[in-house]
Amino acid sequence: MNNNQDKTRAQQEDNLIGGYGLEVCQRLVEEGRSKGLDDIEVYYQRLKSLEVVIEKNDLQLPKSDIYQGVGIRVFKNGSMGFASTNDLDENSLKLLMKQAAVMAENSPPDRNNRLPEAEKLEEVPDIYDDRAENIQLGDLIESARSFMKEIKQDDRVTVDTAGFSASIVNDAIATSRGIISQDRQTYFETQALALAREGEEVSSFDMEYQVSCFYEELDVAESGRKLRDKVLASLGADTIESFRGEILLTPFSAVTLLVRPLVFAVNSENVQNGISPWKDKSGKQVAADILTVIDDGTLPGGVGSGKFDREGLPQKRLTVIKDGHLQELFYNAYTAARAGRNSNGRAGGGAQSTPDIAPSNFMVSGGKKSRDELISEIERGLLVNRYSGSVDPVSGDFSGVVKGGQLIDRGCKVKPVREVMISGNIYQMLQKIAGLSREREDIMNFKLPYVLLEDVSITCG
């Protein structure tokens, strides 16, 4: 069978799967209407996944899995009920509707319980790989071998664990408010954790990550080279004296230390419940002028992109922070109703739960200088490859251990460090961002630069 025939067969299979899911959603909405419910939402999801895992340099048994499920939300007299199942035979689906209705009957009313009205939906380009259905476990095994070939260029390096995965997602939704749509997406991931050992000396663990909507865009050999070089560079780590100085966060360390508190702070539910530190900061300065944050669910090729969110609304492009000033929060239909406004398409989740709030493609703008230029301007500081510790998203206080850190002195990386802790308050440090790199990396659905922070407490244990 030639490539065109393979592509046609894959498209036919996807259309069949998507059509089935949409038909189930529409049929259950009609059934709910016939039972006198005020509103009904049915969300269908099918996830096909393949994964190859390496542990301690050895290939493990490959895995494949298919999940298929439906979640139903029903509304009656201001009360909401929800039920979900992965058993899609006719009797199970009828029982599911009854269970959701019973939940609604026994739940307190809330005037903010509502479904959004339908809005125009548009396809997002470049989020589905037409070759995806033809990718087999053997292809991922070859990726793992290509990765390990680079790692084994130096026998001091050991891969603790690595995963090579392919995912095909089909979603469909129908509601009594006129939302009827389906979407599909693919994404491929490579993530690996490794260390280096030389004699009695062992390096810090370090990590490498790649993600793309297209299988051919992953460069697993490059990922192996970068991880090998990073863990080798952390051999010979030494203790240092404590000081206050600058830290340069890699994109990976910025996910934990910077982005997760940011996402928490702009979640409208946290703002409305009074636990976000930015509950009264709309339009006000919350960070240094150089920080701009965009969340864009319409980004072509974005792993967080899609035609609709968990409630069937377009995800849109949002400017969250502009020049350090808070512009927009993340809303789903419920929190939008509480705020007296419309949702901006940030309902997250799948068929197994009610909608929560989540970002799509969360992007921190890059700066004008390269990573190396930022390093060259650091008088005394630390490159933080990974951060292991706590971050309180309510207060912003953090304290944790630097992994794979490098001491920087007079603009040069001097030596790897060990037993070093950093601490401070991340919301205060947002006001002290001294630089952002031109380079940005994709970590999950985050696109992040290297971030330079000033006046951080650096303590040697």
Q: What is this structure's pTM?
A: 0.92
Distance CA 68, CA 180 (A): 19
Closest by Cα among 394, 331, 338, 334 to 358:
331
Claim to verify: residue 201 and residue 269 sit in the same structural domain: no
Claim to verify: residue 41 and residue 93 sit in the same structural domain: yes
Claim to verify: residue 204 and residue 308 sit in the same structural domain: no
Distance CA 165, CA 214 (A): 12
The residue among 227, 248, 269 that closes a domain is 227
Burial of 222: CB neighbours in 10 Å, binned 0-12, 13-18, 19+: middle
Tell me what pLDDT residue 231 has.
Answer: 93
Instruction: For residue 232, tell me if it sits in a domain.
Output: no
CB 413 within 8 A of CB 406: yes
Claim to verify: residue 441 and residue 317 sit in the same structural domain: yes
Handedness of CA 137, 143, 149, 150 (dihedral sign): negative
Distance CA 457, CA 389 (A): 14
Claim to verify: residue 278 and residue 207 sit in the same structural domain: no
CB 423 within 8 A of CB 455: no
Helix axis angle for 220-233 and 137-151, nearest 10°, is 30
Q: Which residues have C-beta within 8 Å of that of residue 199, sequence separation ≥ 6?
A: none
Tell me what pLDDT residue 18 has.
Answer: 56
Claim to verify: residue 56 and residue 134 sit in the same structural domain: yes
CB 199 within 8 A of CB 52: no
User: Residue 199's domain spans which residues?
Assistant: 3-227
Instruction: For residue 44, tell me if it sits in a domain.
Output: yes
Distance CA 135, CA 234 (A): 36
Claim to verify: residue 35 and residue 147 sit in the same structural domain: yes
Claim to verify: residue 194 and residue 271 sit in the same structural domain: no
Instruction: For residue 389, tell me if it sits in a domain.
Output: yes
Instruction: For residue 223, tell me if it sits in a domain.
Output: yes
Distance CA 359, CA 445 (A): 8
At residue 407, φ and ψ (nearest 5 deg) are -75, 135
Claim to verify: residue 217 and residue 313 sit in the same structural domain: no
Number of domains forming the structure of the chain: 2
Claim to verify: residue 58 and residue 33 sit in the same structural domain: yes
Claim to verify: residue 313 and residue 448 sit in the same structural domain: yes
Distance CA 383, CA 372 (A): 11
Which helix (H) or strand (E) element contains residue 272?
helix 268-272
CB 70 within 8 A of CB 28: yes
Report, as ranges of residue numbers, the positions in the chain whose pLDDT lies below 70: 1-18, 461
Claim to verify: residue 202 and residue 271 sit in the same structural domain: no
The residue among 201, 227, 253 that closes a domain is 227
